[in-house]
């Protein structure tokens, strides 16, 4: 029954490591800072209270004895010189006469200080105290001199006030504390963020971002392991693609010989089907070679391309052969830096795919603030939503939804996906409203 508690706690935690570290460091430092200041102010309050008590006790004894020895006509002149920040003196009964309704002392501090004054003066002087107010705390003590003259000590207890510059120093310390915590978190998490970005840009040909070595030992070890992993992936992919290309290339010769022998045979039953099977095998071999070569599309030198003219030329090539391909292009303010041959193969594969399964293709070009988007759409049968991500896999074919003749080799979209990555673009598929498929190639401006 107590199992859901940890999940409820985790729900309130920040999602990123940087924010969690920052909250932990800043929270811990702020708590320690607040505790230190609390103890400091408490000790200061205790010291100030003790000093207030001592000063009051000594000053009242001195002042009362001085006033008692002065002639009555000179006492009023000495009162301003005896005044302090928290208490002052006045001659007269100060409202302690009969019928004034003087209230008894109710505040703890007032009782302690009035008792201390009475104890310091001793039995030689009679005292009487009353509470004037509780907020702010204020009380009065009447002392009878030896000649019967009353002296009133008006006391308003308060510790030493806080210096005006102290809050600004505190705010400056808090700002420096938070800044140091932010710098520490940034220093600790920046290598992780750089590692994550490099991992997102890993390419099968090993042409991804190489992280610079250096920094703390743990970071240097992680960077070295990541760079070594990229090299291993590149060697692995190069070996597998080389095997695929070699097998596909070597299969072309026996397939060609078999086709020649089949064509030289008399018109026997099964000859036409044998030639059809050989044509399919040859097409599959060529697609395998094209897939292996597409992994090295990043070796092409990038150049600046006017996409409007680029797509217009590509679409005109299709129209010249009588295939229904339309272009709708918005004005692009500047050329795009890309690899034109790889990009042409990507768009051509998508157009061929649309022509094969829908009979027509629509090409659309537009741009937003971050990227230039090329869409190739058709009104064919589309792809089931659950299969949209899998059709990018090599040799994966949809027999049920887009199989008109043979279903293809299953390499067309895989080649387009691989070449799109080589030109630093993203290829996504989605079904259109009303039927059909839309392939979107998103080229980043920078």
pLDDT, one tens digit per residue, over 233-279 is: 778 777 776 776 677 777 777 877 887 777 777 777 777 777 777 77
pLDDT at 404: 41
Does 286 share its domain with 355? no
Does 304 share its domain with 434? yes
Token readout for 129 is 């105290």
For range 21-36, the mean pLDDT: 82
Does 249 share its domain with 322? no
Q: Band the pLDDT of 99: cuts 50, 70, 90.
A: very low
Position 7 in a domain: no
- Of the candidates 254, 272, 295, which is a domain's last residue? 295
Position 421 in a domain: yes
Does 111 share its domain with 48? yes
pLDDT at 79: 86
Highest mean pLDDT among 84-98, 159-173, 419-433: 419-433
At residue 265, what are phi and psi to the nearest 5 degrees? -75, 155
CATH of the domain at 301: 3.30.565.10
CATH of the domain at 276: 1.10.287
Does 151 share its domain with 263? no
Q: Quote the number of domains for the chain.
A: 3
Does 271 share its domain with 146? no
For range 333-341, the mean pLDDT: 83
End-to-end CA distance of the chain, in Å?
54
Does 34 share its domain with 60? yes
Give the 3-state secondary structure percentages of the chain, helix then strand then coil, rounded to 5.
Answer: 55, 15, 30
Q: Band the pLDDT of 101: cuts 50, 70, 90.
A: very low
Does 321 share its domain with 440? yes
Q: What is the percent of the chain where pLDDT is above 90?
A: 5
Position 194 in a domain: no
Position 166 in a domain: no
Q: Is the pLDDT of residue 400 over 50?
A: no
Q: Is the pLDDT of residue 426 over 80?
A: yes
pLDDT at 316: 92
Closest CA to 19 of 160, 137, 186: 186
Domain that holds residue 227: 202-295
Give the integer Cα–Cα distance in Å for 239 and 261: 34
pLDDT at 381: 86
pLDDT at 402: 45
pLDDT at 325: 92
Q: Is the pLDDT of residue 46 over 70?
A: yes
CATH of the domain at 136: 3.30.450
pLDDT at 30: 83
Q: Of 138-142, 256-260, 302-306, 347-351, which gets the smallest average pLDDT?
A: 256-260
Sequence-distant (≥ 6) Cβ neighbours of residue 241 within 8 angstroms: 291, 292, 295
- Of the candidates 140, 155, 170, which is a domain's last residue? 155
Return mean pLDDT, the chain.
Answer: 79
Does 149 share its domain with 233? no
Query: Is 349 in contact with 412 (CB distance < 8 Å)?
Result: yes
For range 93-111, the mean pLDDT: 69
pTM: 0.47
Does 221 share its domain with 255? yes
Give the integer Cα–Cα distance in Å for 86 and 103: 21
Position 432 in a domain: yes
Q: Is the pLDDT of residue 219 over 70?
A: yes
SS3 for 184? helix
pLDDT at 58: 83
Q: Of 7-21, 119-133, 137-151, 424-438, which gets the smallest average pLDDT?
A: 7-21
Token readout for 30 is 């702020």
Position 164 in a domain: no
pLDDT at 161: 65
Number of H helices, E strands in the chain: 10, 11
SS3 for 15? coil
Q: Is the pLDDT of residue 345 over 50?
A: yes
Position 8 in a domain: no
Does 284 share its domain with 301? no
- Of the candidates 243, 265, 295, which is a domain's last residue? 295
Does 133 share its domain with 40? yes
pLDDT at 261: 76
For range 348-376, the mean pLDDT: 88
Position 192 in a domain: no
Query: Is 268 in contact with 262 (CB distance < 8 Å)?
Result: no
Q: Is the pLDDT of residue 78 over 70?
A: yes
């Amino acid at each position: 029954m107590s199992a859901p508690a940890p999940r409820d706690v985790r729900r309130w935690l920040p999602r990123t490591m940087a924010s969690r570290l920052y909250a932990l460091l800043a929270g811990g430092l702020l708590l320690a800072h607040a505790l230190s200041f609390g103890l400091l102010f408490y000790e200061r309050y205790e010291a100030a209270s003790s000093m207030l008590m001592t000063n009051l006790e000594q000053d009242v004894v001195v002042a009362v004895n001085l006033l008692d020895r002065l002639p009555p006509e000179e006492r009023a002149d000495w009162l301003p010189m005896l005044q302090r920040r928290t208490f002052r003196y006045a001659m007269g009964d100060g409202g302690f006469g009969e019928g004034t309704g003087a209230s008894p002392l109710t505040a703890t501090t007032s009782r302690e200080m009035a008792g201390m004054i009475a104890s310091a003066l001793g039995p030689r002087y009679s005292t009487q105290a009353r509470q004037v107010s509780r907020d702010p705390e204020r009380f009065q003590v009447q002392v009878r001199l030896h000649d019967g003259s009353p002296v009133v000590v008006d006391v308003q207890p308060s510790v030493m006030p806080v210096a005006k510059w102290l809050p600004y120093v505190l705010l400056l310390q808090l700002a420096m504390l938070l800044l140091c915590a932010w710098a520490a978190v940034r220093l600790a998490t920046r290598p992780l963020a750089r590692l994550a970005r490099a991992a997102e840009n890993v390419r099968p040909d090993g042409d991804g971002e190489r992280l610079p070595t250096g920094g703390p030992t743990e970071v240097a070890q992680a960077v070295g392991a990541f760079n070594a992993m990229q090299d291993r992936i590149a060697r692995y992919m190069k070996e597998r693609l080389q095997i695929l290309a070699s097998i596909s290339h070597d299969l072309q010769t026996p397939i060609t010989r078999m086709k020649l022998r089949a064509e030289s045979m008399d018109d026997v039953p099964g000859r036409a089907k044998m030639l059809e099977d050989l044509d399919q095998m040859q097409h599959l071999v060529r697609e395998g070679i094209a897939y292996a070569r597409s992994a090295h599309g990043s070796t092409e030198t990038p150049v600046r391309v006017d996409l409007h003219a680029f797509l217009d030329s590509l679409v005109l090539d299709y129209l010249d052969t009588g295939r229904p391909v339309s272009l709708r292009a918005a004005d692009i303010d500047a050329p795009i830096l890309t690899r034109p041959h790889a990009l042409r193969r990507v768009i051509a594969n998508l157009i061929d795919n649309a022509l094969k399964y829908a009979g027509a293709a629509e090409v659309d070009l537009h741009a937003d603030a971050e990227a230039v988007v090329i869409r190739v759409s058709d009104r064919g049968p589309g792809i089931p939503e659950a299969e949209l991500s899998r059709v990018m896999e090599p040799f994966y074919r949809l027999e049920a939804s887009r199989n008109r003749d043979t279903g293809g080799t299953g390499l067309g979209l895989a080649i387009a996906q691989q070449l799109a990555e080589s030109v630093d673009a993203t290829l996504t598929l989605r079904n259109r409203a009303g039927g059909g498929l839309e392939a979107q190639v998103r080229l980043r401006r920078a």
